[in-house]
Amino acid sequence: MAFDPNDDFGMDDFNFDDLDFNIEDYTSQVDFDGGQGAADPQVPEDDGASGDTGEYTPVRRSEERVHPERKHTRKPAKQKNRGGGVRVMSRLLIVLIYLLVVSIAAYLLATFGWRWGSDLLALDKPEYSATITLEDSMFTTEQTTDDAGNAQTVYLADMDQVSDLLQSNGLIEYKWLFKLFANFTHKDTKLAPGTYELNTTMDYSALLRNMRASSGSRTTVQLMIREGSTVSDIIALLAENNVATEEELKEAATNYDFDYDFLDKSTLGEENRLEGYLFPDTYEFYQNSDAVTALNKLLFNFRSKIYDESSVDQAKLAQYQADGYDLHDMLTIASIIEKETDGKDQNGISSVIYNRLKKNGGTNGKLQMDSTIYYALGDTSRELTAEDLTIDSPYNTYANTGLPQGPICCPGLTAIQAALFPSDTDDYYFVLGDDGSTHFFSDYDSFVAFKNAQTGVIQNQEDGNEEG
């Protein structure tokens, strides 16, 4: 039979008034003390004295006699809690929200957790390298002491800048995660300024480990400090190769109190106070490192060489000082020797210098060395003039007797040895001949005659261009 949606199933003929329904007749069936009550009503016996008509009269439960042995007390029915439904719905909603949050979290962890983990552990990254530089400006410094009570400087990195740099170079993806890891592991306090070679195979821990001062990933540059280089030359070379900035190097050279006995502390603040003491050699420097550290490497090497028996005769050095010359004098003489020659005949030129210092010759105790005038001028690009020889400077050995104020360059070991071991001569003059050799003379006339015969030497002694 087909279903007719308009069929009322006879409900129009149904009369609700025909129902004789009393809720109490049904509720009375329930014993709220826990038992089921009798369904049949009590019918009283006809004893003839009741006056009943004999008809059956239903007795309502509410009118039922109470059992003589037990007073039956009906407990009031519990009222229906109208707010219960609301609370059930609220709890259901909370459960649904919780399940939704858990589901979203699980999805995010499944989706992003792998990406975060891959970034943290350097998994599935395209492999390439990048060179980054942690500038000094990314750090603040803090002076502390080590376990032995020695003062030390601790660098504190700005991890916002560091993470920005790593992200911009493609080494990490999530800056916040990197900073969180660095802070949690306390490795952010161990970073140091410098230039580092890093790559995408390094996880977070490796990246932090390879940005330390002692890291093998820190980029280095090998530089040769040549004999005869001045402090200005050395600073320019270091700055040009990004060891430190020129400003930082000049500041350290002038004002930093390096802890070496051979340095005169009274010269602290003078720009050329390290002249002669930065030992010429081949060095390996960290790029973008500390200026003090870079200069200290040269000073440390100087001390090692000067006080090493295999490099400098210590007995001769002691005798030299006993004769009235100190280390500073020796370096000054060695620096002049270095600048007056091309590495040849240094012991002979040393002899000329000492002879002139004795004031026994025609120079009357004046060294008259062009190299000292060039140092005073700070310009070696042109020929000296007669006016240059009158410059007011403690380095003008034409105007002043004795040694200049200090070294005019950083001499090498050969020049230092020549200063300690001059040739035993009576020579007061020397000149470079056309044959490429240095010629020495004990008297002025012989010196002038030889010089006039040379095509490569200016004849006028007064113009200051003669050698020696």
pLDDT digits (tens, 9 = 90+) for 230-279: 999 999 999 999 999 999 999 999 999 999 999 999 999 999 999 999 99
pTM of the model: 0.62
Average pLDDT over residues 105-113: 59
pLDDT digits (tens, 9 = 90+) for 399-428: 999 999 999 999 999 999 999 999 999 999
pLDDT average, residue stretch 3-23: 45
For position 125, what pLDDT does the model report? 79
Mean of pLDDT values over 359-387: 89
- Confidence at 439, pLDDT banded by 50, 70, 90: very high
pLDDT class of 11 with cuts at 50, 70, 90: very low
What pLDDT does residue 462 have?
35
Asked whether 199 and 127 are in contact (CB, 8 A), the reply is yes
When the pLDDT of each residue in the chain is averaged and rounded to a whole number, the result is 80
* % of the chain at pLDDT higher than 90: 46
Are 227 and 280 in contact, with CB atoms under 8 Å apart? yes
Place of tokens 């992200």: 167
The pLDDT value recorded for residue 148 is 66
Percent of the chain exceeding pLDDT 70 equals: 73
| 128-169: pLDDT as tens digits | 889 998 888 888 877 777 676 666 667 788 999 999 999 999
> What's the pLDDT at 142?
76
**Model confidence pLDDT, tens digit, residues 38-74:** 444 444 444 444 444 444 455 555 444 545 555 555 5
The residue-averaged pLDDT of 27-45 equals 46
